[in-house]
Amino acid sequence: MSVFRRLKQWGKKDSKDGDDKRDLSPTDVSTPETEPDEPSNTVISSSKTIELPPPTPDGSIVASTAELRVDREQTLDLAKDAKIGKHTTNEIVPGKLLKRDEQGRVHIKIVFYGPSLSGKTTALRWLFGNVRSLSKGRLVEIADELGRTTFFDFVPVTASERIVFDVFTVAGQRRHARSRITVLRDSDGIIFMADSRPEMMNENLASLEELRIALGTDRLANMPIVIALNKRDLPNALPIEYMAQMLDVESHPIFPTVATEGQNLLRMFQRVLRDALVYKVGI
């Protein structure tokens, strides 16, 4: 069975009983017709009014781009150093520019991106330990004394004898911007993992803004990007519609996840692999 057919079949499997597994399409979340001039704790969707929990003392639940603290020029310089530039014609055409190893296998690079402690490494470890339908390589981790990723986590996932997915996570801490953006180089698909805690909304926005600046408009328009809203099991998790609107990601596939339990991780992973295959190989 071809890799593409296998991925298509994965996407059709029903969720297990008891799991809240949803793949929110762009039509599942909507943007209000008008935005308030002042921050508000109420979000209006097409079907209901969502009352948000009270803001934290520092007001981080009501976030804005003015509070991102992302140095655009510095980020552009880091992207330039990492040789992340505009899409070339060969990159845009599927199958035209492929990365192959000495065995002739095509390598496709997937990167988990997001703020520190949002669950990126936890998600990769769960996938590494539980995706039995794929042959897995060796998980390589570089961490500090607290167990937090300082450069990257990496695991090659073999989908067939001719396709290998190289899956990375990046260090989310602000001080590791250079290494984080370096890992983005030559990426073929992105999983952005946001933290659903109210106090982390500004960090989500900052990380996403950094990603958008580093990749540039043309790569963002073409590269497969899926959104994981992680830590949905927490009692103070922000509403999905609110997060989608604040992050401005309604046009991307959205997966509410619980990385510690593996909830929705497989469907999220299948989606990005399928989209990356179409984007890079054209199958």
**Those residues with Cβ within 8 angstroms of residue 31's Cβ, 6 or more apart along the chain or in another chain:** 245, 250
- How far is the first Cα of the chain from the last one, in angstroms, to the nearest whole number? 13
What amino acid occupies position 8?
Answer: K
Name which residue leads in pLDDT, 100 or 171. 100
Q: Which whole number is the average pLDDT over 191-195?
A: 96
pLDDT above 70: residue 119: yes
For 233-247, the pLDDT digits (tens) are 999 999 999 999 999
Q: Where are the alpha helices (DSSP H) in the chain?
A: 3-12, 72-81, 89-92, 120-130, 177-184, 201-215, 217-222, 240-247, 265-280
Name which residue leads in pLDDT, 62 or 128. 128
Average model confidence (pLDDT) for the chain?
A: 75
Q: Are residues 159 and 165 in contact, defined by beta-carbon separation less than 8 angstroms?
A: yes
Write the CATH number for 218: 3.40.50.300
**Those residues with Cβ within 8 angstroms of residue 60's Cβ, 6 or more apart along the chain or in another chain:** 198, 199, 200, 201, 202
Per-residue pLDDT band for 87 (boundaries 50, 70, 90) equals: confident
**CA–CA distances in Å: residue 177 to residues 78, 116, 212:** 8, 11, 13
The top-scoring range by mean pLDDT among 36-50, 73-87, 206-220, 228-242 is 228-242
- What region does 264 belong to: left with phi over 0, alpha with psi -120 to 50, or beta? left
What amino acid occupies position 17?
Answer: D
* Tally of structural domains, the chain: 1
Domain membership flag for residue 162: yes
For 133-187, the pLDDT digits (tens) are 665 666 565 544 444 444 445 677 777 778 888 888 887 566 567 888 888 999 9
Percent of the chain with pLDDT over 90: 37
pLDDT above 90: residue 17: no
Domain membership flag for residue 269: yes
Domain membership flag for residue 51: no
Q: Which domain holds residue 78?
A: 3-12+71-280
pLDDT above 50: residue 121: yes
Q: Which whole number is the average pLDDT over 222-230?
A: 95
User: Quick one: pLDDT at residue 63?
Assistant: 52
Percent of the chain with pLDDT over 70: 65
Q: Are residues 121 and 172 in contact, defined by beta-carbon separation less than 8 angstroms?
A: no
Q: Which whole number is the average pLDDT over 118-127?
A: 89
Domain membership flag for residue 153: yes
pLDDT above 60: residue 40: no
Q: Which whole number is the average pLDDT over 119-131?
A: 87
| 24-33, 84-93, 190-199: least confident range | 24-33
HEC profile of 26-46: HHHCCCCCCCCCCCCCEEECC
Alpha carbons 283 and 3: distance in angstroms, whole number: 9
User: Quick one: pLDDT at residue 12?
Assistant: 46
User: Quick one: pLDDT at residue 175?
Assistant: 59
Angle between helices 201-215 and 177-184 (to 10 degrees): 50
Domain membership flag for residue 54: no
**Those residues with Cβ within 8 angstroms of residue 182's Cβ, 6 or more apart along the chain or in another chain:** 78, 81, 82
